[in-house]
Every structure is written in C-alpha cells, then in structure tokens.
C-alpha cells in the first residue's frame, strides 16, 4: 500500500473525524441493537391494542377490500353487497381448535344481532367444504362462509389490515371501514364491544 502521509489539513481534522465516526458507529450499533433485541408489539396512535383486540381510531379505519368469492355451498359472494350494513367477518377453519371453540359464540351472536341489521360472514381457510359444513351443521352456524382453502381472501384483506392468525374476527361498519378486530379466539364480550364501536347496540 502506498502509505500517503496524512496531509496537514487532514491531520488537524483527524480527531474530529475519529470522534464523529465513533459517535456514528455507536449510534448505528445502538439503533441496530434496539431493533434487533426488541420484539414487535407496536401500537401506533391510529390503533389501540388491548389484549388480542385491535380498535382503529375514527378517521384511521382502513377500507375493507372489495372482492368476489364463492361460498362453501357454491353460491357467489360479493363483498360490495354487504355495504350499508355492519358486517362481522370471521376467518376460520374446521381444523383449528380455537375456531371450533368460538363457533357456538358466533352462532349465538349472529342470531342476536341479525335482527339489528348486522350480517355475519365466514372465510374458511385451508379446509374442504365437506369438513367445514360438517362443523357449521354441528354448532348451528347458519350464515355463509367463503370457500378460501388457499388464503386468497386473507391475502386480499391483509392489504387493509393484517389477518395474521386463524381465527381472526373483523368488524366492518356500514361504510365498509374496518372498525376493529380480534386476533385469535374471540369472546362474546369482545364482540359486543366492537359492535358497539361500529354503532350497533345490543
């Protein structure tokens, strides 16, 4: 290596350079350490996370995507046809124990809120219609479910809000905005709270 002696100007500035570099390196390493060692758990001002419930603040509610799909029994389902009514959309599968556990609760809720203008819809993932219908029959779910074995609707929906777990239950208001959702197994209380946020009282 051609060892070029540090020019005079440079030698005078060298200490500054070393100090600046040290500070930058320490800051970079620190930032890296913080990002690497802290796990997710983010909560922005747009959303409130309470347990496994996410509630979006007014004005920050993502618009649910519009899609067309086919139900377990083969009838076409259009998301846009649910506009004008509050919709509870439940992502589930007959193979998934928490989904099976919350099924009877959703069946009861759909009976109680049906008369209040709330629609219920399921999205059955990684499943076959035969297995899914055997379950809805046995717990008395009468609302339809989308046949979504490949998670295509989940992917569509994740553009608006992440559906990162099965089950996930999303409440969408009459204008088509996501009011909030429950990630994981939901309960009667969580659903009535979310529905109240969507403007529907029991």
Partner 1 sequence: MTDVRTPQSPADTAPGGPAGESPTASAGWLRWAWRQLTSMRTALVLLFLLALGAIPGSLLPQQGTDPGSVDQYYVSHPDLAPWINRLGLFNVFAAPWFAAIYLLLFASLVGCVVPRTFRLVGSARTPPPRAPRNLARLPHSSSYSSALPPAAAVDNAAAVLGGQRFRLRRPAADEPGYWVSAEKGYLRECGNLLFHLSLLGVLLSIAAGGLFGYKADKLLVEGQTFANTVSALNEFHPGRLVSGDSLAPFTLTLNKFTASYVESGESAGQPSNFNANVTYAASSGATPRSYNIRINDPLAVDSLKVYLIGHGYAPEFKVTEANGTVAYEEATPFIPANTSSLLSDGVVKAPDASLGFEGVFVPTAIEVEGTLESIFPAANNPAVSLIGYSGNLGMNSGVSDQTVYQLDTNGLTEISGSPHLLSPGQSWKLPGDKGSIEFVGVKQWVSLAITYDPGQVPALVCGILALAGLLLSFFVRRRRVFVRAVPAASGTGSVVTVGGLTRSDASGGFEEEFADLAAQIAETEPDPGQPQEPIKPEPDHTPEPGSHSEPGA
Site for partner 1 (CB under 8 A): how many residues?
Answer: 60
CA dist 156 and 52 (Å) reads 22
Residues 78-117 interacting with partner 1 (rule: CB under 8 A): 91, 94-95, 97-98, 100-103
Which tokens belong to 21?
């570099």
Q: Give the residues across from 63 on adjacent strands.
A: 177
CA dist 117 and 101 (Å) reads 25
Which tokens belong to 194?
């979310």
Site string for partner 1, 22-61 (x = CB under 8 A): x-xxx-xx--xx-xxx------------------------
Taking contact as CB under 8 A, which single stretch among the options 79-87, 130-138, 174-182, 194-202 is the one that binds partner 1?
130-138
> Among residues 20 and 84, whose Cβ is nearest to partner 1?
20
In the three-class reduction of DSSP (H, G, I as helix; E, B as strand; rest coil), residue 10 is classed as helix
Burial letters 127-143, b for 16+ CB under 10 A, else e? bebeebbebbeeeebeb
Q: Is 185 in the site for partner 1 (CB under 8 A)?
A: yes
In the three-class reduction of DSSP (H, G, I as helix; E, B as strand; rest coil), residue 137 is classed as helix
Q: Which residue ranges make up the site for partner 1 (CB under 8 A)? A: 1-10, 14, 17-18, 21-22, 24-26, 28-29, 32-33, 35-37, 91, 94-95, 97-98, 100-103, 125-126, 128, 130-131, 134-135, 137-138, 149-152, 154-156, 158-159, 161-166, 168, 185
């Amino acid at each position: 290596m051609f060892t070029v002696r540090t020019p005079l100007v440079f030698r005078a500035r060298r200490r500054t350079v070393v100090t600046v570099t040290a500070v930058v390196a320490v800051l970079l390493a620190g930032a890296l350490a913080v990002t690497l060692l802290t796990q997710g758990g983010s909560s922005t001002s747009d959303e409130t996370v309470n347990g496994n419930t996410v509630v979006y603040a007014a004005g920050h509610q993502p618009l649910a995507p519009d899609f067309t799909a086919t139900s377990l029994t083969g009838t076409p389902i259009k998301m846009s046809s649910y506009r004008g009514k509050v919709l509870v959309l439940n992502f589930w599968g007959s193979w998934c124990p928490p989904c099976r556990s919350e099924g009877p609760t959703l069946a009861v809720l759909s009976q109680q809120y049906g008369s209040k203008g709330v629609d219920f819809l399921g999205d059955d993932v990684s499943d076959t219609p035969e297995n899914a219908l055997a379950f809805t029959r046995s717990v008395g779910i009468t609302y339809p479910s989308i046949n979504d074995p490949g998670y295509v609707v989940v992917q569509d929906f994740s553009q608006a809000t992440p559906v990162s777990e099965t089950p996930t239950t999303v409440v969408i208001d009459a204008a088509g905005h996501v009011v909030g959702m429950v990630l994981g197994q939901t309960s009667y209380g969580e659903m009535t709270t979310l529905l109240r946020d969507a403007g529907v009282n029991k």
